[in-house]
Amino acid sequence: EIVLTQSPDFQSVTPKEKVTITCRASQSIGGNLHWYQQKPDQSPKILIRYASQSFSGVPSRFSGSGSGTDFTLTINGLEAEDAATYYCHQSNNLPHTFGQGTKLEIK
Amino acid sequence: EVQLVDSGGNLVQPGGSLRLSCAASGFTVSSNYMSWVRQAPGKGLEWVSVFYRSGDTYYADSVKGRFIISRDNSKNTVYLHMNSLRAEDTAVYYCARGGGNSDFDYWGQGTLVTVSS
Protein backbone atom coordinates (compact mmCIF):
# COMPACT_ATOMS: atom_id res chain seq x y z
CA GLU A 1 0.00 0.00 0.00
CA ILE A 2 1.27 3.44 -0.92
CA VAL A 3 1.44 5.79 2.06
CA LEU A 4 0.90 9.51 1.46
CA THR A 5 2.30 11.89 4.07
CA GLN A 6 1.13 15.49 4.08
CA SER A 7 2.75 18.44 5.80
CA PRO A 8 1.86 20.38 7.73
CA ASP A 9 -1.05 18.78 9.59
CA PHE A 10 -2.36 22.20 10.57
CA GLN A 11 -1.63 25.75 9.55
CA SER A 12 -3.05 29.06 10.73
CA VAL A 13 -2.77 31.68 7.99
CA THR A 14 -3.88 35.22 7.21
CA PRO A 15 -5.85 36.28 4.13
CA LYS A 16 -3.79 37.08 1.02
CA GLU A 17 -0.96 34.87 2.29
CA LYS A 18 0.62 32.23 0.06
CA VAL A 19 0.11 28.68 1.35
CA THR A 20 2.06 25.58 0.39
CA ILE A 21 0.99 22.05 1.33
CA THR A 22 3.21 19.11 0.47
CA CYS A 23 2.40 15.45 -0.10
CA ARG A 24 5.08 12.78 -0.20
CA ALA A 25 4.42 9.27 -1.49
CA SER A 26 6.18 6.19 -0.12
CA GLN A 27 7.00 5.11 -3.69
CA SER A 28 6.81 6.68 -7.13
CA ILE A 29 3.28 7.32 -8.39
CA GLY A 30 4.14 9.22 -11.57
CA GLY A 31 1.60 12.03 -11.90
CA ASN A 32 -1.37 10.13 -10.47
CA LEU A 33 -1.86 12.49 -7.55
CA HIS A 34 -4.97 14.55 -6.90
CA TRP A 35 -5.96 17.25 -4.39
CA TYR A 36 -9.32 17.77 -2.67
CA GLN A 37 -10.82 20.43 -0.42
CA GLN A 38 -13.30 19.48 2.31
CA LYS A 39 -15.18 22.06 4.34
CA PRO A 40 -16.94 21.08 7.59
CA ASP A 41 -20.03 18.93 7.03
CA GLN A 42 -19.49 18.89 3.27
CA SER A 43 -18.31 16.30 0.77
CA PRO A 44 -14.78 16.60 -0.58
CA LYS A 45 -14.37 18.56 -3.82
CA ILE A 46 -11.69 17.98 -6.41
CA LEU A 47 -9.30 20.90 -6.91
CA ILE A 48 -6.33 19.55 -8.85
CA ARG A 49 -6.12 16.31 -10.83
CA TYR A 50 -2.99 14.52 -12.08
CA ALA A 51 -0.69 16.73 -10.00
CA SER A 52 -1.17 19.98 -11.92
CA GLN A 53 -4.45 20.04 -13.87
CA SER A 54 -7.04 22.41 -12.41
CA PHE A 55 -10.58 21.05 -12.29
CA SER A 56 -13.20 23.09 -14.08
CA GLY A 57 -14.47 26.02 -12.05
CA VAL A 58 -11.69 25.94 -9.45
CA PRO A 59 -10.31 29.43 -8.71
CA SER A 60 -6.97 30.16 -10.36
CA ARG A 61 -5.29 30.81 -6.99
CA PHE A 62 -5.11 27.01 -6.54
CA SER A 63 -2.26 25.25 -8.36
CA GLY A 64 -0.40 21.97 -8.11
CA SER A 65 3.00 20.65 -9.07
CA GLY A 66 5.24 17.64 -8.68
CA SER A 67 5.78 14.12 -9.94
CA GLY A 68 7.17 10.84 -8.71
CA THR A 69 7.08 11.05 -4.93
CA ASP A 70 6.89 14.76 -4.10
CA PHE A 71 3.91 16.99 -4.76
CA THR A 72 2.77 20.46 -3.77
CA LEU A 73 -0.55 22.28 -3.56
CA THR A 74 -0.18 26.06 -3.59
CA ILE A 75 -2.80 28.67 -2.77
CA ASN A 76 -1.74 32.11 -3.98
CA GLY A 77 -3.63 34.88 -2.20
CA LEU A 78 -5.56 32.95 0.42
CA GLU A 79 -9.20 33.94 0.92
CA ALA A 80 -11.39 33.45 3.98
CA GLU A 81 -13.49 30.87 2.11
CA ASP A 82 -10.41 28.63 1.75
CA ALA A 83 -10.67 27.55 5.40
CA ALA A 84 -10.93 23.78 5.02
CA THR A 85 -9.07 20.50 5.23
CA TYR A 86 -7.05 19.53 2.15
CA TYR A 87 -6.29 15.95 1.15
CA CYS A 88 -4.01 14.42 -1.45
CA HIS A 89 -4.99 11.12 -3.09
CA GLN A 90 -3.06 8.65 -5.24
CA SER A 91 -4.71 6.60 -7.96
CA ASN A 92 -1.56 4.91 -9.28
CA ASN A 93 -2.05 1.65 -7.36
CA LEU A 94 -4.84 -0.17 -5.59
CA PRO A 95 -5.76 0.39 -2.87
CA HIS A 96 -6.33 4.07 -3.48
CA THR A 97 -4.94 6.00 -0.55
CA PHE A 98 -5.26 9.49 0.88
CA GLY A 99 -2.97 11.70 2.88
CA GLN A 100 -3.95 12.35 6.49
CA GLY A 101 -5.19 15.85 5.65
CA THR A 102 -3.99 19.41 6.25
CA LYS A 103 -6.34 21.71 8.12
CA LEU A 104 -6.12 25.39 7.20
CA GLU A 105 -7.39 27.93 9.71
CA ILE A 106 -7.85 31.53 8.65
CA LYS A 107 -6.74 34.06 11.25
CA GLU B 1 -25.74 18.14 -14.38
CA VAL B 2 -23.86 15.33 -12.67
CA GLN B 3 -25.39 14.36 -9.33
CA LEU B 4 -24.89 11.52 -6.87
CA VAL B 5 -27.39 10.91 -4.06
CA ASP B 6 -26.32 8.61 -1.24
CA SER B 7 -28.83 6.89 1.03
CA GLY B 8 -29.33 3.91 3.31
CA GLY B 9 -27.24 4.82 6.31
CA ASN B 10 -28.60 3.92 9.72
CA LEU B 11 -27.83 2.73 13.23
CA VAL B 12 -27.07 -1.00 13.20
CA GLN B 13 -25.86 -3.47 15.81
CA PRO B 14 -22.44 -5.14 15.55
CA GLY B 15 -22.68 -8.14 13.27
CA GLY B 16 -25.60 -6.64 11.38
CA SER B 17 -26.04 -5.76 7.72
CA LEU B 18 -26.94 -2.70 5.73
CA ARG B 19 -27.26 -1.73 2.07
CA LEU B 20 -26.20 1.72 0.89
CA SER B 21 -27.42 3.18 -2.40
CA CYS B 22 -25.93 5.77 -4.72
CA ALA B 23 -28.35 7.08 -7.33
CA ALA B 24 -26.62 8.80 -10.23
CA SER B 25 -27.97 11.32 -12.71
CA GLY B 26 -26.38 13.29 -15.53
CA PHE B 27 -24.16 10.39 -16.59
CA THR B 28 -24.23 6.60 -16.92
CA VAL B 29 -22.70 4.54 -14.12
CA SER B 30 -21.94 1.62 -16.44
CA SER B 31 -19.60 3.85 -18.47
CA ASN B 32 -17.65 5.01 -15.44
CA TYR B 33 -15.62 3.71 -12.54
CA MET B 34 -17.65 4.10 -9.33
CA SER B 35 -16.27 4.00 -5.81
CA TRP B 36 -17.21 4.19 -2.15
CA VAL B 37 -15.06 6.25 0.21
CA ARG B 38 -15.68 6.53 3.95
CA GLN B 39 -14.78 8.95 6.71
CA ALA B 40 -14.91 7.97 10.37
CA PRO B 41 -16.00 10.75 12.76
CA GLY B 42 -13.25 13.37 12.99
CA LYS B 43 -10.91 11.33 10.79
CA GLY B 44 -9.58 11.37 7.24
CA LEU B 45 -10.76 9.75 4.04
CA GLU B 46 -10.49 6.00 3.42
CA TRP B 47 -11.16 4.33 0.06
CA VAL B 48 -13.47 1.31 0.47
CA SER B 49 -14.31 -0.23 -2.91
CA VAL B 50 -14.47 0.32 -6.68
CA PHE B 51 -16.64 -1.07 -9.48
CA TYR B 52 -14.78 -1.00 -12.76
CA ARG B 53 -16.49 -0.37 -16.11
CA SER B 54 -15.52 -3.95 -17.00
CA GLY B 55 -17.46 -5.28 -14.03
CA ASP B 56 -14.38 -6.07 -11.96
CA THR B 57 -14.56 -5.10 -8.30
CA TYR B 58 -11.88 -4.36 -5.71
CA TYR B 59 -11.94 -3.78 -1.97
CA ALA B 60 -9.85 -2.36 0.84
CA ASP B 61 -8.41 -5.12 3.03
CA SER B 62 -10.41 -3.77 5.97
CA VAL B 63 -13.71 -4.69 4.29
CA LYS B 64 -12.76 -7.57 2.00
CA GLY B 65 -15.03 -10.57 2.49
CA ARG B 66 -17.66 -8.48 4.32
CA PHE B 67 -18.69 -5.77 1.83
CA ILE B 68 -19.90 -6.19 -1.74
CA ILE B 69 -20.20 -3.43 -4.34
CA SER B 70 -22.80 -3.87 -7.05
CA ARG B 71 -24.40 -1.93 -9.86
CA ASP B 72 -27.92 -1.79 -11.35
CA ASN B 73 -27.62 -0.29 -14.82
CA SER B 74 -31.41 -0.04 -15.25
CA LYS B 75 -31.62 2.19 -12.18
CA ASN B 76 -28.28 3.92 -12.81
CA THR B 77 -27.45 3.12 -9.19
CA VAL B 78 -24.48 1.68 -7.33
CA TYR B 79 -24.83 -0.20 -4.04
CA LEU B 80 -22.64 -1.18 -1.13
CA HIS B 81 -23.81 -4.29 0.70
CA MET B 82 -22.29 -4.29 4.15
CA ASN B 83 -22.25 -7.46 6.26
CA SER B 84 -20.72 -8.47 9.60
CA LEU B 85 -20.53 -4.81 10.57
CA ARG B 86 -18.09 -3.74 13.26
CA ALA B 87 -17.81 -0.65 15.43
CA GLU B 88 -14.84 0.47 13.33
CA ASP B 89 -17.08 0.61 10.23
CA THR B 90 -18.86 3.62 11.77
CA ALA B 91 -18.40 6.44 9.27
CA VAL B 92 -19.98 8.69 6.69
CA TYR B 93 -19.95 6.75 3.43
CA TYR B 94 -19.57 8.69 0.19
CA CYS B 95 -20.22 7.45 -3.30
CA ALA B 96 -17.82 8.99 -5.83
CA ARG B 97 -17.33 8.83 -9.57
CA GLY B 98 -13.88 7.56 -10.41
CA GLY B 99 -11.48 4.99 -9.03
CA GLY B 100 -9.62 3.61 -11.99
CA ASN B 101 -6.31 5.42 -12.16
CA SER B 102 -8.26 8.67 -11.99
CA ASP B 103 -9.43 11.19 -9.45
CA PHE B 104 -12.87 11.24 -7.82
CA ASP B 105 -14.47 14.10 -9.70
CA TYR B 106 -17.99 14.00 -8.25
CA TRP B 107 -19.13 12.95 -4.78
CA GLY B 108 -22.44 12.20 -3.14
CA GLN B 109 -23.51 14.04 -0.02
CA GLY B 110 -22.67 11.06 2.17
CA THR B 111 -24.75 8.77 4.38
CA LEU B 112 -23.96 8.00 8.02
CA VAL B 113 -23.53 4.42 9.21
CA THR B 114 -23.31 3.92 12.96
CA VAL B 115 -22.46 0.48 14.29
CA SER B 116 -23.30 0.27 17.97
CA SER B 117 -25.24 -1.84 20.44
- pLDDT tens digits for range A54-84: 999 999 999 999 999 999 999 999 999 999 9
Q: Which residues of A touch B94 (CB under 8 A)?
A: 43-44
**Residue A53: pLDDT band with limits 50, 70, 90:** very high
Q: What pLDDT was estimated at residue B113?
A: 98
Strands (E) across B2-117 are located at 3-7, 11-12, 18-25, 34-39, 45-51, 57-59, 67-72, 77-82, 91-97, 106-107, 111-115
- In this prediction, residue B100 has a pLDDT band, given cuts at 50, 70 and 90, of confident
Evaluate whether B50 touches B57 at the Cβ level (below 8 Å): yes
d(CA B53, CA B51): 7
Q: Does the beta carbon of B9 lie under 8 angstroms from any beta carbon of chain A? A: no
Backbone angles phi, psi at A77, to 5 degrees: 80, 65
Q: Does A97 touch chain B (CB under 8 A)?
A: yes
CB contact under 8 A, B103 and A94: no
> Could you tell me if B5 and B108 are in contact, meaning their C-beta atoms sit under 8 angstroms apart?
yes
